Structure 1
Amino acid sequence: MNTNIMETYEFQSETNEILHLMIHSLYSNKEIFLRELVSNASDAIDKLKFQTISSPELYENNTNLCIRIRINKDNNTLIISDNGIGMTHKEIINNLGTIAKSGTKEFLQTYNKTTQEKNSLIGQFGVGFYSVFIVSKKVLVKSRFGGLDKNEGVLWESEGKGKYQVKKIFKKNRGTKITLYLKSEAQNFLESWNIKRIVNKYSNHVAIPIEIYTYDEKTKTSIWEQINQAQALWTLEKSKIKDDDYKNFYKKLTNDSNDPITWTHNKVEGVQEYTILLFIPSKSAWDIWNRENKHGLKLYVKRIYIMDNAEQFLPNYLRFVKGIIDSNNLPLNVSREILQENELVKTLKKALTKRILKLLENLSKNTESYQLFWSQFGLILKEGPAEDPENKIIISNLLRFRSIKTTLSENLISLQNYIDNMQKKQEKIYYITTDSYASAINSPHLEFFKQKNIDVLLLTDKIDEWMMNYMTDFKGKSFQSVSKYDKSIEKLNNNVQDQEKNINENVKLLLNKVKEILKDKIKDVRFTHKLTQTPAIVTTDSNDMTTQMAKLFSSAGQSIPEIKYIFEINPNHELIKKISTETNSKKFKNWVKILFEQSLLVEKNTLDDPNKFINRINKFLIHCN
């Protein structure tokens, strides 16, 4: 190739369409061009490091590796240079002509094929490089491959409009220098503060120093100022990182003034290479309850920042987790902005989920710390059994509950605690779902359990009823709502047969009378021996919708079928015995309706027509004598 001859290469006719796609469709903001150029420069330096292991002469007495940025406002240029491996004449055509030579049809076909084929494009220099035309009207690239003669440098030049030119040049230093002639609307990239901001945002943790040419007006001197940290905390050996370093990093990462409760820092090597640094905050974010908001990890690829809130790596019920994931081989789409759905991402999600659950399992051994965690994020973790059946066992172990054997001031108990304290004949784990702690602890459904010293879990969060639909059993013990009819509860009563024999004859006649009065309002009426202080309650059948579930559907604006309750009467209660002797049919009917409506009020905390109930009570009180 003649040194003075500029070779012109015609792009295929579809090039303008390709560039339009690159500039207007694949990138969501203009500033990422600098991220792409820094990433390419970092890759070139990494390649040099690798090749000099066997060929140290490629350093050419220049081992001070760095990436440099220089602004020239006089001619509206931005220059990004590196002293990495550089490119040969052939490589510069292949690399910078990738899109051009493939053509729109071939490129789009590849772009619309499998995820893996899409992802491979990001590894090609030309794709990321062409983002420069988002801000540039003309681009010059000067490069020389390490070890080649200084006369073997190559100049590549293009306006991105149908052709590019290549010329052999003299280039003293190894590496690549890219000069961007900025468009008029991109003049803000000639401000050093903006360049520093972009580097800090995307490339702060690149292991290579990134320097900007700075002129000091006071001293009238120029220096190369390093503007990146050049050392990512997560890349250091854990033994060299102090707890305060982790805490300070967390605060900077999240803008949280509080220390995290705990964290996990791991590097995985092999087929999948990635590093994670994940934190459990000590206080929930203000928007944590909005499942529609994006919650995720900060994603880096080879220490290059890609995005915030990468939600593909953790299930939604772990959205409180903060931190970073840095992958060496994570596939991205062409713009490096959207993760592709593929097996690697799914595998990473499984691994990170198990890692966090294990971290919480270890945290649960410290009662005080875990109580703090649970107070902030327990409600969110309760979404887990429904969302993540694969990890339901470990999630179940992490759940905490109040029960009739604990007070509000005491620590919550785990399901393992509950099982360890079960009665000998107890077959199931009993629970009650209500609107509040007061409603739960005072529920007549618990009278028998309190008498027999059998614990019952008190579930008072709105999510609890939904969660329990996915909690069928725990370590061989099935769950049973005490507000549903179940024979296992009656089995726990050793004296049930004697109690049946002692039922007053008048009381025995009640069932058919009550059923006749209530008719279609109930599913059934029966005696119960699980009440000690209450005359009657209503329960739902084992396969019917519970009251709490009906409330959830109703609050969501969904129509629900009418619940037909089982009316359970305590034959030993004085009020029931009194009613059974009532000979006035009108009074008897009113007694039954009042009793039933009382039971509904206790169960639902409301009535369809409370005024009618009050009037019935008032009239009855007037004529009670």
Structure 2
Amino acid sequence: MIKENGNISIHTENIFPIIKKWLYSDKDIFIRELISNGCDAISKYKRLVTLGEVSGDINEGFKVTVSVNKENKTLKFIDNGIGMTEEEVKKYINQVAFSGAEDFIEKYKDKMDDSKDIIGHFGLGFYSAFMVSKQVKIDTLSFKEGAEPITWVCDGGTEYELTTSEERTTRGTTITLFIDEESEEFLEEYKVREIINKYCGFLPTEIYLENENEEKKEDKEIKPLNDIAPLWAKAPKDCTDEEYKEFYRKVFMDFNEPLFWIHLNVDYPFNLKGILYFPKLNNEFEIVEGKVKLYNNQVFVADNIKEVIPEFLLLLKGTIDCPDLPLNVSRSFLQKDRDVMKISKHIVKKVADKLVELFKNDRENYNNFWKDIQVFIKYGCLKDEKFYEKIKDILIFKTMKGDYVTLKEYLEECKEKHENKVFYISDEKQQSQYIKMFEAYDLNAVILDTTIDNHFISFLETHESGVKFTRIDSDISETLKSKDEDSEESKNLNTKLEGIFKDSLNGKIAKFSIESLKNEATPAMIVISEESRRMSEMSKMFGGMQMPGMFTEEKTLVINKNNNLIKKLISLSEDEAKKEDVNFICNHILDLALISNKELNVDEMDAFIKRSNELLNKLV
């Protein structure tokens, strides 16, 4: 009969009270740690059976059971794994931070091809139990022949009691937590179920949850809570499209089908498996951070760890399992490590390779996906130069004609009309007048109507030599102009027209341009300086404070001297008695041009309506 009392040996770098209070960032992680320990114990035993070190049945029905008893205020974690002897309890439990998994691997490393399924190499996982317990009891029986069952009890201090167990009669370990008053939420079955699903949903050993306060129904089939063979662990060639879609629905509770996915399956130079999904978005306003779940040997670690998953990839959804990640004792935060950077770069490379493959082999679907993936790709280019270098040739743009072209294809099509100038549309309704003019003369423009495009086109201009993006209402293409005479008479006419409008508009607009447009029906148009408009939009986007007149859009009124109304305006201006009519017409022409470019403000609209009514009265 064993009976021993003693003190827990704590290495100098560890302080037991701190373990109880500060070891983990999230209190519920103790469930993950204790279940993981149970899975480790089972993995160790199965490995010994496989190696022939012990006689046993590899298919005996291994499992970890979590048992809730709200009346007794206990939470039990039961496994049928390797168990512990008295000496092993003293070594692995009484000496904090001495890792049993590390010791096991060291002993059998020459006989094992892969030790990465032994999860618990952090040493402190068991002691997370004291975060929620006033007392912890271990009942364990080793697989070794002749071993005695052992009970270990500790109330959260440094003292323990070791006795012969009367509860454990079969191989394995039962850890009983006597939950303290502050942590009674963990006695709720639904709460425990939720935590198991979160952290242990894909552990390689079946996990069951039972409620000791409820009567067991013998005819009811009890199913494990976890999936012991997650899809990412399979070879891509063995997975069907429907399996990928079902896994996506199950993990992310998203019943919209993903557009496509990337199955990561790397064994060298590091171990990495996972699936990244490109979700479907109904509109740009749905663009929110996705959810990339990080696992370590099928144990959930955290969502969206930016050290492993680059920021722009967090717009995706997916699962990444990487046993080689260097985690700290709580498994919640990554340590700074070169391997982490290598893993991150590899993930980016695989995403880029998938996009290039899709573009080359399935251009039609790639075009169809563009609406949903363009923001992700553009954001990736802005955040990661190497990603941009890999995918720059497959960046595409939807055109006003409805097709999709690369930058190279667009420039090739338009090189004779406007060399290296890329005309673009940011609002098809607002810029409809300009679009119609382009259509009339078989010109083309690309559509850039997302909030990221202002940054993206500036980025492209710095990376693509000589390329200049110009909004369709920022410049008049030479193709839209008639060849103007370079005569003294033409210059005088231009000067006269500019003077008429300056006098009549009284400072409403600062700049004028006199042109001969092929479209004779249009008396005037507004063009806005591309540079000033971009600066103004950037300032508004970032909510910056600015002085009056700073970063305002520079508007130019383009007057079409081929238009009949403009021609008559010249002769009308020579009659002093018609000065009021000239002012009236010039202001109305300006408002029509402004309406074609954007909405008038309240005062401008009032003046326009009043003038329109006067015009109708004159006609009557």
Q: 1:285 to 1:336 in 2, by over 3 A?
A: farther
**Contact 2:422 2:468 survives alignment (8 Å):** yes
State how 1:562-601 maps to structure 2 within 5 Å.
562-581=552-571, 582-583=573-574, 584=576, 585-601=579-595
Q: What SS does structure 1 have at the residue aligned with 2:251? A: helix
Q: What SS does structure 1 have at the residue aligned with 2:264? A: strand
Q: What SS does structure 1 have at the residue aligned with 2:17? A: helix
What is residue 8 of structure 1 aligned with on the other side? 7
Does residue 456 (structure 1) correspond to residue 445 (structure 2)? The answer is yes
| Amino acid paired to 2:418 | Q
What is residue 421 of structure 1 aligned with on the other side? 413
Deviations 1:564-584 (A, max 9, x none): 323322222222222222213
What is residue 403 of structure 1 aligned with on the other side? 399
State the shift of 1:342 in Å: 5.5
Q: 1:595 to 1:510 in 2, by over 3 A?
A: same
Q: 1:347 to 1:605 in 2, by over 3 A?
A: farther
Structure 2 unaligned spans of 5+: 99-118
CA distance in 2, matches of 1:472, 1:359: 26
What is residue 137 of structure 2 aligned with on the other side? 140
Q: 1:232 to 1:100 in 2, by over 3 A?
A: closer
Deviations 1:225-262 (A, max 9, x none): 75533222221223332322222222212223343332
State the shift of 1:160 in Å: 1.1
TM-score by length of 2: 0.77
Deviations 1:151-170 (A, max 9, x none): 5x765431112323456889
What is residue 544 of structure 1 aligned with on the other side? 532
Of 208, 224, 227, the match for 1:229: 227
What is residue 432 of structure 2 aligned with on the other side? 441
**Contact 2:481 2:517 survives alignment (8 Å):** no
Higher mean Cα deviation, 372-381 or 317-326?
A: 372-381
What is residue 18 of structure 2 aligned with on the other side? 18
**Contact 1:247 1:259 survives alignment (8 Å):** yes
CA distance in 1, matches of 2:183, 2:245: 38
What is residue 40 of structure 1 aligned with on the other side? 37
State the shift of 1:602 in Å: 2.4
Of 290, 298, 301, the match for 1:295: 290
**Contact 2:512 2:556 survives alignment (8 Å):** yes
Does residue 356 (structure 1) correspond to residue 351 (structure 2)? The answer is yes
State the shift of 1:325 in Å: 1.0
Higher mean Cα deviation, 243-252 or 62-71?
A: 62-71
State the shift of 1:537 in Å: 2.3
CA distance in 2, matches of 1:72, 1:481: 66
Deviations 1:463-488 (A, max 9, x none): 5444433331786561331457669x
State the shift of 1:278 in Å: 1.9
Q: What SS does structure 2 have at the residue aligned with 1:576? A: helix
**Contact 1:279 1:321 survives alignment (8 Å):** yes
Higher mean Cα deviation, 468-477 or 154-163?
A: 468-477
State the shift of 1:18 in Å: 0.8
Of 326, 329, 340, the match for 1:331: 326
**Contact 1:141 1:177 survives alignment (8 Å):** yes
Deviations 1:49-76 (A, max 9, x none): 66777x632x353644734336485865
Deviations 1:144-183 (A, max 9, x none): 77658625x7654311123234568899866544333344
Structure 1 unaligned spans of 5+: 102-121
**Contact 2:297 2:323 survives alignment (8 Å):** yes
CA RMSD of aligned residues (A): 4.6
Does residue 525 (structure 1) correspond to residue 515 (structure 2)? The answer is no
CA distance in 1, matches of 2:11, 2:389: 58
What is residue 509 of structure 1 aligned with on the other side? 496
CA distance in 2, matches of 1:484, 1:283: 29
**Contact 2:140 2:151 survives alignment (8 Å):** yes
What is residue 481 of structure 1 aligned with on the other side? 470
State the shift of 1:303 in Å: 0.6
State how 1:52-63 maps to structure 2 within 5 Å.
56-57=52-53, 59-61=54-56, 63=58
State how 1:41-80 maps to structure 2 within 5 Å.
41-47=38-44, 56-57=52-53, 59-61=54-56, 63=58, 64=60, 66-69=62-65, 71=67, 73=69, 77-80=74-77
Q: What SS does structure 1 have at the residue aligned with 2:263? A: strand
Q: 1:320 to 1:36 in 2, by over 3 A?
A: same
What is residue 604 of structure 1 aligned with on the other side? 598
**Contact 1:503 1:571 survives alignment (8 Å):** no
State the shift of 1:306 in Å: 2.9
**Contact 2:49 2:56 survives alignment (8 Å):** no
Q: What SS does structure 2 have at the residue aligned with 1:328? A: coil
What is residue 126 of structure 2 aligned with on the other side? 129
Deviations 1:283-319 (A, max 9, x none): 5599833x4xx52212221111234455665556555
What is residue 158 of structure 1 aligned with on the other side? 154
Deviations 1:121-142 (A, max 9, x none): x965542211212332222335
**Contact 1:81 1:176 survives alignment (8 Å):** yes
Q: 1:15 to 1:521 in 2, by over 3 A?
A: same
Does residue 268 (structure 1) correspond to residue 258 (structure 2)? The answer is no
Does residue 535 (structure 1) correspond to residue 526 (structure 2)? The answer is no
Deviations 1:512-547 (A, max 9, x none): 554566575545323234552322223234542259
CA distance in 2, matches of 1:236, 1:128: 29
Q: 1:518 to 1:214 in 2, by over 3 A?
A: closer
TM-score by length of 1: 0.76
Percent identical pairs in the alignment equals: 25
Higher mean Cα deviation, 11-20 or 233-242?
A: 11-20
What is residue 179 of structure 1 aligned with on the other side? 176
Q: What SS does structure 2 have at the residue aligned with 1:181? A: strand
CA distance in 2, matches of 1:416, 1:191: 61
**Contact 1:524 1:566 survives alignment (8 Å):** yes
State the shift of 1:202 in Å: 2.6
**Contact 1:385 1:392 survives alignment (8 Å):** yes
Instruction: Tell me the matched-pair count.
Output: 586
Q: What SS does structure 1 have at the residue aligned with 2:533? A: coil
Deviations 1:399-454 (A, max 9, x none): 554434x1xxx44444354234224353124323443x23323227x63x445433
CA distance in 1, matches of 2:146, 2:385: 63
CA distance in 1, matches of 2:122, 2:534: 61
What is residue 281 of structure 1 aligned with on the other side? 279
CA distance in 1, matches of 2:431, 2:475: 19
CA distance in 2, matches of 1:148, 1:35: 30
Of 236, 239, 245, the match for 1:238: 236
CA distance in 2, matches of 1:157, 1:328: 33
State how 1:178-217 maps to structure 2 within 5 Å.
178-183=175-180, 198-210=195-207
**Contact 1:258 1:282 survives alignment (8 Å):** yes
CA distance in 2, matches of 1:220, 1:457: 67
CA distance in 1, matches of 2:262, 2:512: 56
| Amino acid paired to 2:460 | M
CA distance in 2, matches of 1:22, 1:66: 33
CA distance in 2, matches of 1:591, 1:551: 35
CA distance in 2, matches of 1:499, 1:558: 45
CA distance in 2, matches of 1:97, 1:506: 99
State the shift of 1:37 in Å: 1.1
What is residue 111 of structure 1 aligned with on the other side? none
